[in-house]
A = this chain, B = another copy of it.
Amino acid sequence: MEAELIAEFRRRIPSHPLVRVGPGDDAAVLRMAEIDECAVTVDLLTDGVDFHLAEVDPRRVGRKALAVNLSDLAAMAARPVAAVVALALPRRDGLRLALELFEGMVPLAERFSLAIAGGDVNSWDGPLALSVTLLGAVTPRGPLRRGGARPGDRILVTGAFGGSILGHHFDFTPRVDEALLLAERYELHAGIDVSDGLSVDLGHVVEESGLGAVLDLDAVPIAPAAEQLARQRADGSTGLDHALHDGEDFELILAAPPDEARRIVADQPLDVPIADVGQFIAEPGLWQTDRAAGRRPLAARGWQHEFE
């Protein structure tokens, strides 16, 4: 029953110094006196779209629900503070499922000093749907935004791209620490996390910044999973195609002035590689270039929710 589940959560949820009122009241209460600007993000994940519950351990689903939101905070260079979680659980085995989702969240929450402050538990006749809302503290340098790139800025990316459907979309580490370190030490103009795909999300930065971008295909880091997926699919697509257009890499795309970008790439200050993959330009549009051919349009293809 719902009441027993809530009681169980209250026993299991670790305490956190910023949480004045935790689960079990009508709302959680957080101490925010030190926080001038608060980043808020929500992602709702559903069975059949973001995961297939019949094929995956619910702990990985719980972990992913938290991780995709952490990735959104990383994109803004905000420090994670607290989460609230809402569950629409199938009636059958819903209690067990809820606890397993929760077990998948706790280690990641602890890893990022994130409070699980509250939530809402529901049963229904539909499939599993879960939403996580995260609150983060914007650092004194302000939020990193999509719309801040300037002509001449270099395009930097963390990690490698493509093939995340083979497992990375469950097991990725959100680039929170990386974003905070970069934003503190270097001048960054814009940022986004890659959830829809490298080309699409670069397109978002370009659009919000009111300019264009040229992506250097030879420089795009291709994940081994992208090559593996290209071989498996055997549909003529290459590892590079998957790197450009697969979703859910959850790496960062950043805009930095040329000198600063050169310094970042030379320093390699992160545990994960950071690469220069092109340049923002004044002329609108998305472009690709490589040794073999000159500059030509790049189609932004990736994940988008479709309606009838």
Contact = CB atoms under 8 A, between A and B. Distances in A.
Interface residues of A, number: 76
Interface in A93-142: 93-95, 117-127, 129, 131, 133-136, 138
Contacts of A89: 305, 307
Identical copies in the complex: 2
Name the residue among A76, A92, A193 with the largest chain B CB count within 10 angstroms. A76
Interface string A63-92: 000000000110110100010111111011
Interface string A265-304: 0000000000000000000000000000000000000001
A11 interface: no
A30 B21 contact: no
Contact of A31 (B30, B37, B136): B37
A166 interface: no
Closest CB pairs A-B (n = 4)? A44-B86, A26-B75, A27-B41, A133-B133
Interface of A: 1-3, 20-21, 24-33, 35-44, 46-49, 72-73, 75-76, 78, 82, 84-89, 91-95, 117-127, 129, 131, 133-136, 138, 143, 145-147, 192-193, 208, 304-308
